[in-house]
């Protein structure tokens, strides 16, 4: 977020030395790659026979930031499209991970960090551009909805998806596209009508809880994942503040996304019974889910149900035994579904139309009968 909106996050501590926000984001992604590499090697070494993993990566970005119309002003290089910024972060981070292999977990100095990014950026600039940028960067909306697309329990239709994440709330509306394979109609891709992303997310709820507990940010780990029970224990004042600060903002983002989607299909009957999914850590909070169940038309169609679909069967926990055993995933997986969708690569990724590529549906023109209907009903 700081790489995308450097001028809107001025309250954060200044970065040290010559580092800029995109440098820091690149180093964070490189570190996460190292963590993933350690985890996959730990798993593969316990297989019989032992396997050697190959690392790949895809980072998820809010869909609206990948629009060709979304850009920001950089201090030295002028206007830059955010999708190009994120693509550069992904490619440079992967280059650092593969070539330099620094021990980021142990800590690196500012000058060394700046030099790492500078050299990797030069190496990446000398390479040809990727054939398909979606191999590196995909929208969180499509990644989070991939399990919906893959589920045999979900057919075609109109859908809404709300992902209440850590820093932002992402809302999108889409249709599942179909094609005929010669025998039957099958799901073929996702056509997104609209997508909106804005703060706050669950981080803001955690800050409210910490303030009411009179604790500082160092105690964040004691709050994350326990927001519902902590808000209940703190009483009405904390609940009201969480509602006033967060729920109202969630509903504004939801309404904005819905208005954009309605422009693509101006047919009231289509929006009477669309299917709604709620994902992310914030989906655990009943007050947040209830806010999403309210109708976009005040006073009408209240109490929209939030759809539930069984989680993917291949989302499991591996034991520490040798060889490792797959155990059923026992935790709430709603906050993992974006990562699950990003794990799909290449041909396994369904085609996606972003909102800017989806034209409004043409509505059939209805002709009024003339006042004198003799020509339609002759005597």
Instruction: State the Cα–Cα distance between residues 291 and 371, nearest whole angstrom.
Output: 47
Distance of alpha carbon 143 from alpha carbon 278, whole angstroms:
14
Token reading at 365: 């023109």
Verdict on whether the full-model pTM lies above 0.85: no
Q: What counts of helices (H) and strands (E) characterise the chain? A: 10, 11
| pLDDT tens-digit readout, 297-344 | 555 555 567 887 677 777 788 888 888 888 877 777 777 888 889 988
Give tens-digit pLDDT for 260-285: 999 999 987 888 778 888 888 888 88
Architecture of domain 140-357: 2-Layer Sandwich (3.30)
Comparing 79-83, 136-140, 189-193, 234-238, the range with the smallest average pLDDT is 79-83
Q: Which two tokens stand for residue 52?
A: 């050697």
Question: Cβ distance 134 to 124 under 8 Å?
Answer: no
Cα–Cα distance for residue pair 10/29, rounded to 1 Å = 22
* pLDDT above 80 (res 90): yes
Percent of the chain predicted with pLDDT > 70: 85
Residues of the chain with CATH 3.30.420.40: 140-357
Q: Specify the higher pLDDT residue, 235 or 10.
A: 235
Q: For the ranges 36-50, 321-335, 352-366, which has the lowest average pLDDT?
A: 321-335
28 pLDDT more than 80: yes
- Rounded to whole angstroms, the Cα distance separating 193 from 356 reads 8
């Amino acid at each position: 977020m700081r790489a995308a909106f450097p001028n809107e996050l001025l309250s954060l501590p200044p970065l040290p030395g010559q580092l800029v926000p995109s440098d820091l984001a690149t180093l964070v992604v490189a570190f996460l790659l190292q963590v993933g590499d350690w985890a996959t090697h730990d798993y593969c070494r316990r297989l019989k026979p032992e396997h050697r993993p190959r690392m790949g990566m895809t980072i998820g970005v809010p869909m609206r930031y990948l629009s060709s119309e979304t850009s920001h002003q950089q201090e030295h290089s002028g206007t830059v499209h955010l999708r190009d910024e994120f693509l550069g972060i992904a490619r440079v981070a992967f280059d650092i991970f593969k070539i330099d292999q620094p021990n980021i977990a142990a800590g690196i100095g500012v000058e060394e960090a700046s030099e790492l990014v500078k050299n990797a950026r030069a190496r990446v600039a000398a390479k040809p551009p990727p054939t398909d940028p979606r191999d590196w960067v995909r929208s969180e909306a499509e990644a989070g909805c991939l399990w919906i697309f893959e589920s045999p329990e979900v057919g075609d239709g109109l859908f809404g998806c709300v992902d209440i994440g850590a820093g932002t709330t992402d809302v999108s509306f889409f249709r599942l596209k179909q094609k005929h394979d010669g025998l039957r109609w099958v799901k073929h891709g996702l056509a997104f009508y609209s997508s909106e992303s804005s703060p706050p997310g669950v981080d803001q709820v955690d800050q409210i809880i910490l303030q009411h507990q009179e604790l500082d940010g160092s105690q964040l780990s004691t709050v994350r994942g326990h927001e519902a029970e902590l808000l209940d224990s703190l009483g009405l004042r904390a609940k009201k503040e969480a509602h006033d600060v967060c729920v109202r903002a969630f509903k504004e983002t939801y309404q904005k996304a819905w208005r954009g989607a309605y422009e693509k299909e101006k047919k009231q009957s289509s929006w009477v019974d669309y299917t709604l999914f709620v994902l992310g850590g914030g989906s655990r909070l009943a007050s947040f889910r209830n806010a999403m169940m309210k109708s976009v038309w005040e006073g009408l169609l209240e109490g929209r149900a939030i759809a539930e679909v069984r989680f993917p069967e291949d989302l499991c926990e591996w034991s520490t035994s040798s060889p490792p055993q797959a155990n059923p995933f026992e935790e709430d997986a709603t906050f993992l579904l974006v990562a699950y969708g990003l794990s799909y690569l290449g041909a396994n990724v369904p085609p996606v139309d972003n909102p800017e590529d989806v034209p409004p549906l043409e509505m059939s023109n209805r002709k009024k009968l003339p006042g004198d209907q003799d020509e339609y009903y002759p005597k």
